[in-house]
């Protein structure tokens, strides 16, 4: 009995000492910059639920090895033509091949080594020694067909037949471009001789991209006493970052690293040693967000990424939009107020408890002023306050600059406004009067553009679709397919004109998608190829026109708008 | 082994075997009716399976002890019975409101019970060599 008591006493002392050691260890901070990465498989052992919810996301599949399982495109021997080039997509075993035969006998052959993206379209990379190159062909998931990457960005058609340079216009190096935001702990490893020794901790955006390097976390939490102390007594583990435990500002920095295009103060170090930012740090220590007036070598080369009032108009600038939002003045409001990596759907990563209007009604009440506008069930706060005035990855996205609708201001800035994006047959004047009638005391924000607002009765969205700059045209095309109130024959007339005549394939693609949305039984995607030559497109449009009622556009007005559009060219390969 | 110890082991053994078997039927039912709260949580599945298996297995050990136990000391039987109860109860409690991929704190009963069972088995083994 005495021996048993001594044994129990020794056990109790040992337990107490172990507990004391755990508490001391937890109280010491850890410099995560000195910690190694372990990869998401190591996280799964203990965090199966979080691993599973992350595994569903498109973050995970941002970059992958080109295995049969990971390649989405139909490399089944099919081919497609683009401005004199014939692309052949084939597969031999696990090897996915892309061949390109040029109009003058040129030949290009690539073996796909990695894939990038998987949400809207999947891009392909080929390896050439120490470098990976983005190939000129991508797979469109919704349309289930390949297309030239020249159609993914806001650049006009090259002249047909396309030269090698034109065909490979968007063939870019992965090592010092895509690598940064599509992988964990990217390091281009640019050497003095121009070669690369590129390393990433893990392909795709995985656990440690947001939580920081996990080697210490894994090693120390092999101790069950430490784990149970963290489970039941305190949850602040210095070996890892929990973005939910950070301030809204620091947590948003984790997202802003990639969802807010940035400029580093030391490009050489970035290209040689990689991104020094680790989650939990102040992002401003290493880089600053790009703004409309940000300069590079004295030139404001980023201004086209923004509307003239400084509102971002491309994706991957959501961080800037958040910073510009009045809501961001509330220190508790950040990316995580609406989004979650784990408790969300993969498409928009909206938190379950932020769906519908709930993200807004947490702080704002739908007071009497909002009742003035008859709000139908499907109209959400974000439809008016976060309109789709952002272009990216062949789609229209919500602005993250949370704002009050001002149709006249938006028209002067040359962008769609929340009112006429929904009331697609209406003019800016109509929208502005309605706004004044419903909300006579609504505030206005300085920073409007200087465009001529003289109207001729043409709906605002049609004016933008035919006469706006390429981003405005793409967004207007998309809006026509989504509008709740639209004359379909009139919209079809405008969309057909865009599909046939717009010089930007991205605009034509969105116009055709909108056309399909206006059809009761959508045409097959093959009915129109936005990348085809103008005569092929004209023939396809004629066939589509024959299937339904289309109100033709006024030729004079259309020509005037097209001339106006031609004065605002864009070239954005981002 | 005295009669009281033998009777206690028989009562515990058969009762534990019944409860353990009943738990097994319940787990089979959870599979049969695709009970999401059980099937979708690997930690819960593992812990409840361990609880079921240990309840049945240790019940058989206690019954064996009642019939062919080599150590007549009542303390050995008590250690074995308490240990055989704590192990499955610990696993079952560990499945209740557990943190991600770790059992809840109730699982601490399982290693405690395991120690008691091991001590009892050591005493039985030692006694067997002395017969």
User: Is residue A454 exposed (0-12), middle (13-18) or buried (19+ Cβ within 10 Å)?
Assistant: exposed
Q: Kindly report the nearest CA distance between residue A340 and chain B, in angstroms.
A: 18
pLDDT at A356: 85
* A383 close to A373: Cβ distance less than 8 angstroms: no
A45 chain-B contacts, CB cut-off 8 A: 101
Q: Which of B42, B101, B118, B120 to mutate to test the interface with A (most CBs of A within 10 A)?
A: B101
Output the pLDDT for position A448: 67
Containing domain of residue B71, as a range?
3-130
Q: Which 34-93 residues of chain A touch chain B by CB within 8 A? A: 45-50
Residues 6+ apart with CB under 8 A from B125: B70
Separation CA A468–CA A562 (nearest Å): 8
Residue B102 and residue A45: Cβ atoms within 8 Å? Answer: no
CA distance A460 to A473: 11
Provide the shortest C-alpha distance from residue A364 to chain B (in Å): 35
Cis peptide before A401 (omega within 30 of 0): no
pLDDT exceeds 80 at position B57: yes
For every one of its 574 residues, what pLDDT tens digit does chain A have, with 9 covering 90 and above?
788 789 889 989 999 999 999 999 999 999 999 999 999 999 999 998 999 999 999 999 999 999 999 999 999 999 999 999 999 999 999 999 999 999 999 999 999 999 999 999 999 999 999 999 999 999 999 999 999 999 999 999 999 899 999 999 999 999 999 999 999 999 999 999 999 999 999 999 999 999 999 999 999 999 999 999 999 997 789 999 999 999 999 999 999 999 999 999 899 999 999 999 999 999 999 999 999 999 998 899 999 999 999 999 999 999 999 999 999 999 999 999 999 999 999 999 999 999 888 889 888 887 777 776 766 667 889 999 999 999 999 999 999 999 999 999 999 999 999 999 999 999 999 999 998 888 887 777 766 676 766 778 899 999 999 999 999 999 999 999 999 888 999 999 999 999 999 999 999 999 999 999 999 999 999 999 999 999 999 999 999 999 999 999 999 999 999 998 988 888 888 7
Inform me whether the C-beta atom of residue B97 falls under 8 Å from chain A C-beta atoms.
no
DSSP letter at A157? P
CB contact under 8 A, B100 and A46: yes
Contacts of B101 in chain A (CB under 8 A): 45-49
* ipTM (interface pTM): 0.83
Number of structural domains (chain B) is: 1
Q: Does B105 touch chain A (CB under 8 A)?
A: yes
Work out the average pLDDT over B115-126.
Answer: 96
Distances (CA, A) of A537 to A175, A467, A512, B62: 37, 20, 11, 84
Euclidean distance between CA atoms A281 and A246, whole angstroms: 10
Region for A397 from its dihedrals, namely left if φ exceeds 0, alpha if ψ lies in -120 to 50, beta otherwise: beta
| A228 contacts B102? CB cut-off 8 A | yes
For range B108-125, the mean pLDDT: 96
Q: Where are the domains of chain A?
A: 60-184, 244-351+380-403, 406-566
Taking the C-alpha atoms of residue A509 and residue A153, their distance in angstroms, rounded to an integer, is 11
Hey, how many other C-beta atoms are within 10 angstroms of the C-beta on A233?
11
Q: What is the mean pLDDT of residues B14-28?
A: 97
Q: How far is B66 from chain A (nearest CA, A)?
A: 25
Q: State the Rg of chain B over Cα.
A: 16
Which of A50, A228, A232 lies nearest to residue B100, judging by beta carbons? A50
Give me the pLDDT at residue A69, please: 95
Chain B residues touching A46 at Cβ < 8 A:
100-102
pLDDT of residue A376: 62
Instruction: Flag if B42 and A47 touch (Cβ within 8 Å).
Output: no
CA closest to A222 among chain B residues: B102
Chain B contact for A28 (CB, 8 A cutoff): no
Give the pLDDT confidence score for residue A484 in this predicted structure. 85
Q: Give the bridge partners for B74, in sequence order.
A: none
Residues 6+ apart with CB under 8 A from A214: A35, A37, A38, A42, A43, A207, A208, A239, A240
């Amino acid at each position: 009995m005495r021996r048993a008591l001594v044994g129990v006493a020794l056990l109790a002392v040992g337990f107490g000492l172990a507990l004391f050691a755990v508490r001391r260890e937890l109280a010491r901070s850890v410099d995560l910059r000195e910690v190694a990465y372990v990869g998401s498989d190591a996280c799964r052992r203990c965090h199966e639920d979080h691993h599973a919810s992350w595994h569903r996301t498109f973050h995970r599949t941002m970059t992958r090895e080109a295995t049969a399982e990971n390649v989405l495109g139909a490399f089944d021997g099919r081919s497609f033509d683009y401005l004199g080039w014939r692309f052949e997509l084939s597969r031999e075993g696990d090897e996915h091949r892309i061949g390109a035969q040029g109009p003058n006998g040129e030949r290009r052959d690539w073996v796909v080594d990695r894939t990038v993206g998987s949400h809207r379209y999947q891009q392909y990379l080929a390896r050439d020694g120490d470098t990976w190159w983005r190939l000129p062909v991508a797979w469109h998931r919704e349309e289930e067909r390949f297309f030239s990457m020249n159609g993914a960005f806001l650049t006009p058609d090259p002249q047909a037949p396309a030269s090698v340079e034109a065909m490979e216009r968007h063939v870019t190096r992965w090592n010092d471009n895509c690598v940064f935001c599509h992988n964990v702990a990217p390091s281009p490893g640019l050497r003095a001789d121009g070669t690369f020794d590129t390393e990433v901790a893990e392909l795709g955006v995985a656990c440690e991209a947001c939580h920081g390097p996990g080697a210490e976390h894994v090693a120390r939490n092999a101790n069950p006493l430490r784990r149970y102390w963290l489970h039941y007594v305190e949850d602040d583990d210095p070996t890892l970052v929990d973005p939910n435990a950070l301030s809204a500002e620091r947590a948003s920095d984790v997202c802003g690293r990639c969802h807010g295009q940035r400029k580093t103060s030391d490009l050489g170090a970035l290209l040689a040693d990689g991104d020094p930012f680790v989650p939990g740090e102040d992002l401003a220590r290493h880089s600053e967000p790009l703004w409309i007036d940000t300069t590079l070598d004295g030139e404001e080369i980023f201004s086209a990424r923004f509307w003239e009032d400084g509102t971002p108009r491309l994706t991957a600038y959501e961080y800037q939009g958040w910073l510009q939002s009045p809501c961001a003045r509330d220190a508790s409001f950040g990316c995580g107020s609406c989004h979650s990596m784990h408790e969300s759907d993969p498409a928009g990563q909206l938190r379950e408890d932020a769906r519908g209007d709930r993200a807004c009604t947490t702080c704002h009440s739908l007071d009497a002023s909002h009742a003035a506008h008859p709000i139908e069930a499907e109209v959400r706060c974000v439809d008016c306050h976060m309109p789709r005035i952002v272009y990216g990855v062949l789609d229209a996205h919500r602005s993250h600059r949370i704002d009050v609708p001002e149709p006249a201001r938006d028209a002067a800035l040359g962008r769609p406004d929340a009112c006429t994006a929904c009331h697609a047959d209406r003019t800016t004047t109509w929208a502005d009067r309605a706004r004044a009638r419903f909300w006579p005391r609504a505030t206005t924000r300085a920073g409007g553009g200087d465009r001529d607002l003289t109207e001729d009765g043409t709906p605002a969205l049609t004016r933008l679709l035919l006469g706006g700059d390429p981003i405005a045209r793409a967004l207007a095309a998309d809006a026509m397919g989504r509008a709740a109130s639209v004359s379909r024959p009139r919209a079809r007339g405008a969309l057909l004109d865009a599909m046939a005549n717009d010089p930007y394939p991205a605009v034509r693609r969105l116009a055709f998608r909108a056309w399909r949305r206006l059809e009761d039984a959508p045409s097959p995607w093959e009915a129109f190829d936005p990348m085809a030559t103008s005569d092929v497109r004209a023939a396809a449009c004629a066939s589509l026109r024959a299937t339904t009622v289309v109100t033709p556009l006024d030729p004079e007005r259309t020509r005037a708008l097209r001339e106006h559009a031609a004065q605002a060219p864009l070239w954005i390969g981002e | 082994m005295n009669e009281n110890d033998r009777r206690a082991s028989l009562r515990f053994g058969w009762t534990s075997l019944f409860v353990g078997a009943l738990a097994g039927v319940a787990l089979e039912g959870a599979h049969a009716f695709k009970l999401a709260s059980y099937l979708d949580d690997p930690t819960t599945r593992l812990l409840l399976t361990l609880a079921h298996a240990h309840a049945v297995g240790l019940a058989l050990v206690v019954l064996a002890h009642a019939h062919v136990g080599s150590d007549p000391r009542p303390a050995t039987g008590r250690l074995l019975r308490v240990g055989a109860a704590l192990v499955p109860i610990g696993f079952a409690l560990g499945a209740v409101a557990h943190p991600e991929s770790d059992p809840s704190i109730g699982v601490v009963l399982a290693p405690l019970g395991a120690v008691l069972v091991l001590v009892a088995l050591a005493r039985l083994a030692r006694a067997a060599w002395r017969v």
